[in-house]
């Protein structure tokens, strides 16, 4: 079983749609959860960083963590063409220094 | 906003040659990392570095790889004898603590011919 599973997409939505991106993880030792956005040939850019179960909101982005189900989500409201990118979930124990990434979901927001 | 910078953005080298990839982490960060991403694949951990020594490394990080913090600002990844399969994007990252998020640079695209 992979440590982090993420649907690779691609996911295509019209501008203004609500986007839901999801990951599951297998190891309950993971305590920190991140979402990164990666544009083509660029480095991962940190979008959201959460520790506890529940929701965290930042502008149009909401990160949701359910530790009991080992399930993390990123919601994007009012999606824009500039949101077109690959979205990577990443998990972290907080005691070991290794960040484990999902495969990334490629999102295309169309006009 | 402070950022991680990497040079060069693209490096082409012949198989068997040594390459050094350079990074300037965010200035007050204490933990430094190298990750790589082969085209079309996931971002993979290579090595973490803290207090002037390697704290963790993956099985990818074999004897051909080494890291160094030669001065107070730079963090380098050296590949001693490059192979074709070393072709990838190499990302440097830094963080302020073990429970802090990692901030990544824009990467160095390494092409081994």
pLDDT tens by residue, B56-72 = 999 999 999 999 998 87
**A44: nearest Cα among A103, A99, A87:** A87
Is the model's pLDDT at A96 over the cut of 70? no
b/e string for A68-84 if b means 16 or more Cβ within 10 A? eebebbbbbeebeeebb
- Tell me which residues of chain B have a pLDDT lower than 70: none
Average pLDDT, chain B: 94
pLDDT at A98: 84
How many residues does the structure list for chain A?
A: 111
Average pLDDT, chain A: 92
Q: A97 and A52 in contact (C-beta within 8 Å)?
A: no
Element (H, E) at B8: none
Is the model's pLDDT at A77 over the cut of 70? yes
pLDDT at A37: 97
**Interchain contact A101–B (C-beta under 8 A):** yes
Nearest residue, CB atoms, A44 vs list B43, B48, B109: B43
Nearest residue, CB atoms, A43 vs list B56, B101, B104: B104
User: Which position has the token pair 């956005």?
Assistant: A37
Q: Do B91 and A44 touch (CB under 8 A)?
A: yes
Q: Do A103 and B42 touch (CB under 8 A)?
A: yes
Provide CB contacts within 8 A for B24, sequence distance 6+.
B4, B5, B6, B73, B74, B75
Task: Work out whether the CA dihedral A53, A68, B101, B88 comes out positive or negative.
Answer: negative
pLDDT at B20: 97
- For A33-50, what is the mean pLDDT? 93
**Interchain contact B40–A (C-beta under 8 A):** no
Q: Do B101 and A34 touch (CB under 8 A)?
A: yes
B107: nearest CA in chain A? A43
Q: B82 and A81 in contact (C-beta within 8 Å)?
A: no
Q: B2 and B102 in contact (C-beta within 8 Å)?
A: no
- Indicate the DSSP class of residue A7: -
Is residue A41 very low, low, confident or very high in pLDDT (cuts 50, 70, 90)? confident
Which of B99, B107, B108 is the best mutation test for A, with the most CBs of A within 10 A? B99
């Amino acid at each position: 079983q992979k440590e982090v599973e993420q649907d690779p997409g691609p996911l295509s939505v019209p501008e203004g749609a609500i986007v839901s991106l999801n990951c599951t993880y297998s190891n309950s030792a993971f305590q920190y959860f991140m979402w990164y956005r990666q544009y083509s040939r660029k480095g991962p850019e940190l979008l959201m960083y959460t520790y506890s179960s529940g929701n965290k909101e930042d502008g149009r982005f909401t990160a949701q963590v359910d530790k009991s189900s080992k399930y993390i989500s990123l919601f994007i409201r009012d999606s824009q063409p500039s949101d077109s990118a690959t979205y990577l979930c990443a998990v972290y124990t907080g005691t070991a220094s290794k960040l484990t990434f999902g495969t990334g979901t490629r999102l295309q927001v169309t006009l | 906003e402070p950022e991680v910078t990497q040079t060069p953005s693209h490096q082409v080298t012949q198989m068997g040659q040594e390459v050094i990839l350079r990074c300037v982490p965010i200035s007050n960060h204490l933990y430094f990392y190298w990750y790589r991403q082969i085209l079309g694949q996931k971002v993979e951990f290579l090595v973490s570095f803290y207090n002037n020594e390697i704290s963790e490394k993956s099985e990818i990080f074999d004897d051909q790889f080494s890291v160094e913090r030669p001065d107070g600002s730079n963090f380098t990844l050296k590949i001693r004898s490059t192979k074709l399969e070393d072709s990838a994007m190499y990302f440097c990252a830094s963080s302020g603590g073990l429970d802090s998020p990692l901030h990544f640079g824009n990467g160095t695209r390494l092409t081994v011919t």
